[in-house]
Amino acid sequence: MPVQEIFKSIYLIITFLFLLGFIFNFFKKFLLARIVMSMGSILCFLCIILLIIIEKRIPLFGSFESTVYIIFLVSIIEIISKNFIETAFYKNRISLIMCIAFFIILLLQKNSPKIFNNDFFMYGNLWVNIFFNLRLVGAAFFIYAAIIANAVMWTNLNINLSDINQSNINSLSINSNMPSQNNCNSNNINIKFIKNNAIHMARNFLLIGVAIYLVSEWAGSLWCLNWLGDSWRWTKDFFKASIVFLFVMLCFHIPVSFKYSSKIKLPAMSFPAMFIIWMILFH
């Protein structure tokens, strides 16, 4: 069987697994959802290992390798952050929206060849490797920030203390003005505080993403300097790279006093993710 057919089969299986994950999450079969999502992430990791073995390099460029790498990174970020108290109340909705995001990203490149990008001489350059790889890492953080923001936006919290880890409740109570469990029940937990903490966490991931993206662009400037003799060129590629920063700045500079700030800020936090995905897959 040709290598392309093998990767096409893996792509279809990954897509199907995250579609199943969405269905299981939607019907509140969270354990089954976690199992199939883990299987999808493992297959993405397998593709990355095959890339390293076959091409002898890390994921850099090309829609297929970029997609599986980003999905794997977002999955790792979600596993690490799922125990954070800031997102504990939204973990099931985060899982649901993550499946939707993965399915859309996979669907966007259904007509693209399921192969690794052809190797060429520039891949031996350190700055090229840093530029392309960290752009994908930054994209993963942008996507996870957007997932948290959408989880907050599309969730009406109906808190049941018995469903939440006791340490999370105690941590929230100790580190804030939120009432402790002794003084509250499921009907009077400070919902606004929980929501604001989750939004703050999304902002943190967005900030991490833009910091990584900035390092990527710095490496790209050095690559450009060594290649063309100048660290900046007035081209559409440099312009598109700059737009990512503009979208991130928009998220951080919406006035808090604005009456509908959260209704604008939360959707706006998806703009960097959407734009960089378009830039990576259709550049």
Residue pLDDT, tens place only, 131-148:
989 999 999 999 999 999
DSSP 73-119: HHHHHHHHHTT-GGGGGGHHHHHHHHHHHHHHHHHHTTTS--SPPPP
Q: How far apart are CA 99 and CA 101, in angstroms?
A: 5
In percent, the amount of the chain with pLDDT more than 90 equals: 40
Considering the chain, what is the average pLDDT of its residues? 82
What pLDDT score does 1 carry?
58
For residue 186, pLDDT beyond 50 = no
CB distance 147 to 101 below 8 Å: yes
For tokens 């505080």, the residue is 193
Q: How far apart are CA 20 and CA 14, in angstroms?
A: 10
Question: Average pLDDT for residues 115-134, to the nearest whole number?
Answer: 80
Q: Give which of 1, 127, 14, 3 is closest to 53, Cα–Cα.
A: 3
Q: Give which of 149, 45, 17, 43 is closest to 94, Cα–Cα.
A: 149
What pLDDT score does 71 carry?
96
Q: Give which of 54, 81, 84, 51 is closest to 66, Cα–Cα.
A: 51
- Give the pLDDT band of residue 183 (cuts 50, 70, 90): very low
Q: Which residue has the higher pLDDT, 163 or 218?
A: 218
Q: Which residue has the higher pLDDT, 32 or 257?
A: 32
What pLDDT score does 135 carry?
94
What pLDDT score does 185 carry?
47
For tokens 């007509």, the residue is 111
Residue pLDDT, tens place only, 23-58:
999 999 999 999 999 999 999 999 999 888 888 888
Q: Which residue has the higher pLDDT, 148 or 241?
A: 148
Residue pLDDT, tens place only, 264-274:
778 889 999 99
What pLDDT score does 161 carry?
46
For residue 163, pLDDT beyond 60 = no
Could you give the angle at the alpha carbon of 241 between the alpha carbons of 235 and 242, nearest 5°?
Answer: 90
Question: Average pLDDT for residues 222-237, to the nearest whole number?
Answer: 72
Identity of the residue numbered 45: F
- Give the pLDDT band of residue 211 (cuts 50, 70, 90): very high
Instruction: Enumerate the domain spans of the chain.
Output: 3-282
